[in-house]
A = this chain, B = another copy of it.
Amino acid sequence: MHPQTRLGRFEHHTEWPLAAVALLFLGLYSAQILLEPRGSTAAAITDAMRALYFVFVVDYLARLYLADPRAKWFVRHLFDLAIVVLPFLRPLRLLSLAVVVEVLQRAVGDTIRGRVIIYTVFGAAVMIYAASLAMLDVERHAPDAHIKTFGDALWWAITTVTTVGYGDYTPVTGEGRIVAVALMIGGVTLLGVVTATLASWIVQRVAAEDTANQTATWAQIEELREEIHRLTKLVADDREPAYGEGREGI
């Protein structure tokens, strides 16, 4: 983002490696939750995930160390801290996969709105998938839980993120509710992004509709400036011969 600072350079270089780690983490986490392996496989997956998780912790600490001013970075990245510290929020670390969006962007174009749309769709998909996995993980074996299959968890996540909130499936454990709150905040932001993008599009279109009332643009002001430049040159040229004439007239 800011390759001119030390933190910026660090983030630029670790972007793709971290996305690879996140993808591996996603694969192992999905396997652990959806396949429910037992015995040595389960132990191996747990060990591998612990190692990958250690990478995230190191990344967080490295970024905190490189940040300047550090206190400001800490306050602004409390969410990153929560993801690192709270085990059941860990899947949200997958949002670092957002770097994959760069590949998708080539197919969609490169305007601000295009990028906002692609980040929103991709971010929403990752958020819903990760929250479903996390919810299934913490609720599945709770007594009186409603969410017992991945299908239920996915259905719950989508009804939550769109703020529809039927309430036919709701988390009953404390951890499940923290995951739900993270997803609700995501949902409110998602709604906001969708609306804001549409608003930006409509405002632009309404403005483009009526040429006479269109907002004056930089391009127009530049044309005006050139016109005034030509005029100034004309007046200046006019002055020169006037002097000459004057002298000739003497």
Contacts and interface: CB of A to CB of B under 8 A. Distances in A.
A163 interface: yes
Contacts of A196: 195-196, 198-199, 201-203
Interface stretch (A56-64, A130-138, A238-246): A238-246
B187 A164 contact: yes
B217 A214 contact: yes
A40 interface: no
A159 to B, nearest CB: 7
Interface stretch (A8-16, A17-25, A41-49, A104-112): A104-112
Interface string A139-181: 0000000000001000100111011111110100010010011
B232 A230 contact: yes
Contacts of A224: 221, 224-225, 228
A234 B243 contact: no
A185 interface: yes
Contacts of A166: 165-167, 170
A1 B171 CA distance: 44
A38 interface: no
Contacts of A202: 112-113, 116, 196-197, 199-200
A185 B165 contact: no
Interface residues of A, number: 85
B248 A250 contact: yes
Contacts of A209: 111-112
A108 B155 contact: no
Contacts of A216: 215-218, 220-221
Given A164-B184, A167-B168, A250-B248, A217 B228 contact: no
Contacts of A168: 167, 170
A212 interface: yes
Given A203-B199, A248-B246, A159 B165 contact: yes
B218 A220 contact: yes
A112 B163 CA distance: 28
Nearest to A162: B184
